[in-house]
Amino acid sequence: MIAIIDYNSGNVGSVKNAVERLGFECIVTANAKMILEAEKVIFPGQGRAGSSMEQMKATGLDKVIKSIKNPFLGICLGMQLLSDFSEEDSTKGLSVIEGSVERLDVDLKVPHIGWNKVSLRKIDPLMKGVQDGSFFYFAHSYYFKAKLQNEVAVTNYGRCFASVVHKDNFYGVQFHPEKSGSSGEQLLNNFLNL
């Protein structure tokens, strides 16, 4: 079973739809036992870092996530919360993947909304069959300043920032694979088949 974490912070429906379109069964849940028993866990993010983190602490989800041993995918804010710290609302993160989340302080329009190129830095099972330089859909104002060794792919938007990260069983993507057409489906399918 695939668990999609629901922490009452925005729309998890589109992730559920995408997983189901790929032929996998999934459950949207905040139940610790279900999350820990799931073969794969997806952590979608929307909304703000501060309120999301508060919500997770209140429900104990913060500790649950840190103890997950199976493949885990954080999407957008769900990726950013894996960091040590986010500038958004000065939020302490889950410290699963080293690095901090900073505001996109660029001379371009923020939020960074739309389709942008994802360039591979290394071979990673998550990106199998995804053509280097493929476009994915982004919608965010903060970016993950990750350590080089955890960067799988980067994207250019004023800054060159990590758009895919990976450490141990934890994966994170800044874009929305569930909204990124066939490239996004390929990525999700890779994750679900890990």
Partner 1 sequence: MEPLKNIIIPAIDIIGGKCVRLTKGDYNRIKEYSQSPISVAKQFEEEGAKFLHVIDLDGAKKGETVNLETILAIAKNTNLELQVGGGIRTFESAETLLNNGVAKVIIGTSALEDKRLLKRLITTFGENRIIVSIDVRKGKIATRGWLNESDMGLKVFLESVKEAGVKTIIVTDIEKDGMMNGPNFAMINEFSGNGLNVIVAGGVSSQKDIALLRKNNLAGIIIGKALYEGTVTIQEAQNDLARRIIPCMDMKDGRVVKGTCFKELKDAGDAVELGKLYSDMGADELVFLDISATLENRNTLCGLVEKIAKTINIPFTVGGGVRTVEDIRRLLNAGADKVSIGSAAVKNMDLVREASRTFGNQCIVISVDAKKAENGWKLYIKGGTEETNLEAIEFSRMMEECGAGELLVNSLDRDGTKKGFDIELLKKITDTVKIPVIASSGAGCLQDFLDVLDKAKVDAVLAAGVFHYGDIKIQELKNYLWENNINVNI
Q: Which residues bind partner 1 (CB under 8 A)?
A: 10-11, 13-14, 17-18, 20-21, 46-48, 106-117, 119-123, 132-133, 135, 137-141, 148, 154-160, 176, 178-182, 184-185
Which residue lies nearer to partner 1 by CB, 63 or 106? Answer: 106
Return the bridge partners of 181, or none.
none
C-alpha closest to that of 61 among 33, 21, 19:
33
26, 76, 88, 112: which one is catalytic?
76
C-alpha closest to that of 186 among 21, 6, 13:
21
Q: Is 176 a catalytic residue?
A: yes
Q: Is 178 a catalytic residue?
A: yes
- Minimum distance from CB of 182 to partner 1 (Å)? 8
- The label of the residue with tokens 């849940």 reads 29
88, 102, 151, 178: which one is catalytic?
178
Which residue lies nearer to partner 1 by CB, 67 or 123? Answer: 123
- Minimum distance from CB of 117 to partner 1 (Å)? 4
- The label of the residue with tokens 């957008």 reads 76
Token pair for 1: 């079973």
Which residue lies nearer to partner 1 by CB, 156 or 193? Answer: 156
Which residue lies nearer to partner 1 by CB, 32 or 121? Answer: 121
Dist CA 179 CA 15 (whole Å): 8
Catalytic residues: 76, 176, 178
